[in-house]
């Protein structure tokens, strides 16, 4: 029985297979319409979510399976003081697979250690978000044809942005990758991410504060929201929240085949006018997430490899 808590729980070969599977699902959805017949996915979201929860649920329905859920932290026994361990032991008795989001870093790992069915980490605090990375990888492969030799700019809240941590971890395994880390001083990538992913593998990276001076070098620009819910005081959030706003004007300096990504939700980081630009990939990215979650569910339930 396998869980996916960290993107490193999947080898590069397995990621390739998941992307191939997602492509096959996109091309032949009817072949998968009964694949998860009589299987149940439990979604346990102890933090707000729109895309991740609904795409997991849509994924399970498209595979012919069923979904059980609790409506949020306040509606579950967590509100009565139940531990994550006890909650997942219980849910394991009712469901074949669990997708869980929790505000505490490490909660998904605790869940996996206690569950008797596979657990998928749908975001643990400011730590990791491996299934967003699955969406990101398929988007990059579809837009760029592969992963080697890319210059990837990550911009915004690189400290608390869990999608960034998982994406750096995944992309560090490919050849010729270069990172440009664009953030205010206070929101730089945590040192554990740099030492485990970038420094260990000697991956070239630069850390800058200004987006416009580097935008022309990038093949991928991954914008992120300043993670309001992780701040200790509102003043800091208000000061930092609009550090970066991507506009059509700024995009004039970018490559014509730049791929602009964002895990969404956006607040102000990308002006709505950018949505019309052919380089805007974030809505495709969101759809790719559903197909990759289908592929992952099939894999963890041992229905497909």
Q: Please report how close the Cβ of residue 216 comes to ligand NCD at its closest, in angstroms.
A: 26
Query: Whose Cβ is closer to ligand NCD: residue 129's or residue 293's?
Result: 129
Query: Whose Cβ is closer to ligand NCD: residue 99's or residue 300's?
Result: 99
The answer to the question of residue 173 lying near ligand NCD (CB under 6 A) is: no
Q: Please report how close the Cβ of residue 256 comes to ligand NCD at its closest, in angstroms.
A: 27
Catalytic residue among 43, 52, 87, 163: 52
Task: In whole angstroms, give the CA distance from residue 302 to residue 285.
Answer: 26
The answer to the question of residue 156 lying near ligand NCD (CB under 6 A) is: no
Among 225, 241, 290, 293, binds ligand NCD (CB under 6 A): 225
Task: In whole angstroms, give the CA distance from residue 50 to residue 12.
Answer: 28
- Compute the CA torsion angle 89, 91, 93, 95 (nearest 10 deg): -140
Q: Please report how close the Cβ of residue 56 comes to ligand NCD at its closest, in angstroms.
A: 10
The answer to the question of residue 241 lying near ligand NCD (CB under 6 A) is: no
CB-based contact 57:81 (threshold 8 Å): no
Catalytic residue among 21, 101, 141, 162: 101
Report which DSSP code applies to 270: B
- Catalytic residue list contains 80: yes
The answer to the question of residue 153 lying near ligand NCD (CB under 6 A) is: no
The answer to the question of residue 52 lying near ligand NCD (CB under 6 A) is: yes
Q: Which of 163, 154, 173 is nearest to 134 (CA)?
A: 163
CB-based contact 104:125 (threshold 8 Å): yes
Report which DSSP code applies to 184: -
Task: In whole angstroms, give the CA distance from residue 198 to residue 206.
Answer: 11
E strands present in 77-161: 97-102, 119-124, 151-155
Report which DSSP code applies to 281: -
Task: In whole angstroms, give the CA distance from residue 151 to residue 178.
Answer: 5
Cis peptide before 265 (omega within 30 of 0): yes
The answer to the question of residue 51 lying near ligand NCD (CB under 6 A) is: yes
The answer to the question of residue 165 lying near ligand NCD (CB under 6 A) is: no
- Catalytic residue list contains 52: yes
Chain centroid to CA 276: how far? Answer: 24
Binders in 106-125 for ligand NCD, by CB under 6 A: 123
Stretch touching ligand NCD by CB under 6 A, among 18-26, 77-85, 201-209, 260-268: 260-268
Q: Please report how close the Cβ of residue 161 comes to ligand NCD at its closest, in angstroms.
A: 6
- Catalytic residue list contains 53: no
Catalytic residue among 129, 159, 194, 290: 129
| Structure tokens given for 151 | 């210059």
Cis peptide before 181 (omega within 30 of 0): no
The answer to the question of residue 163 lying near ligand NCD (CB under 6 A) is: yes
The answer to the question of residue 132 lying near ligand NCD (CB under 6 A) is: yes
Query: Whose Cβ is closer to ligand NCD: residue 238's or residue 267's?
Result: 267
- Compute the CA torsion angle 126, 130, 136, 138 (nearest 10 deg): 180
Among 264, 292, 296, 297, binds ligand NCD (CB under 6 A): 264
User: Can you give the binding site for ligand NCD, defined by CB under 6 A?
Assistant: 51-52, 123, 129, 132, 162-163, 225, 263-265
Please identify every residue annotated as catalytic.
51-52, 80, 101, 129
């Amino acid at each position: 029985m396998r869980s996916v808590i960290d993107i490193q729980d999947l080898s590069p070969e397995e990621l390739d297979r998941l992307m191939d599977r997602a492509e096959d699902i996109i091309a032949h959805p009817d072949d998968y319409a009964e694949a998860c017949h009589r299987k149940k996915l439990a979604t346990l979201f102890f933090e707000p979510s729109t895309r991740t929860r609904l795409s997991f649920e849509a994924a399970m329905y498209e595979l012919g399976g069923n979904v059980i859920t609790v409506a949020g932290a306040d509606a579950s026994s967590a509100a009565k003081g139940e531990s994550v361990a006890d909650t997942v032991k219980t849910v394991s008795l009712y469901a074949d697979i669990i997708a869980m989001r929790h505000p505490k870093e490490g909660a998904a790992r605790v869940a996996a250690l206690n569950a008797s069915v596979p657990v998928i980490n749908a975001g643990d605090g400011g730590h990791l978000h491996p299934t967003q990375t699955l969406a990101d990888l398929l988007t990059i492969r579809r837009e760029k044809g592969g992963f080697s030799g890319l210059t990837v700019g990550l911009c915004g809240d690189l400290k608390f942005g869990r999608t960034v941590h998982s994406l750096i971890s995944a992309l560090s395994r490919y050849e010729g990758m270069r990172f440009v880390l664009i953030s205010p001083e206070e929101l730089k990538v945590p040192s554990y991410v740099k030492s485990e992913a970038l420094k260990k593998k000697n991956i070239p990276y630069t850390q800058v504060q200004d987006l416009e001076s580097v935008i022309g070098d990038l093949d991928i620009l991954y914008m992120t929201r300043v993670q309001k819910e992780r701040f200790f005081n509102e003043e800091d959030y208000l000061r930092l929240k609009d550090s970066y706003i991507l506009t059509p004007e700024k995009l004039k300096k970018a490559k014509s085949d730049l791929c602009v990504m964002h895990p969404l939700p956006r607040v102000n980081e990308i002006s709505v006018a950018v949505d019309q630009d052919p380089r805007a990939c974030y809505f495709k990215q969101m759809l790719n997430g559903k197909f990759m979650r289908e592929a992952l569910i099939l894999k963890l339930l041992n229905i497909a490899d």
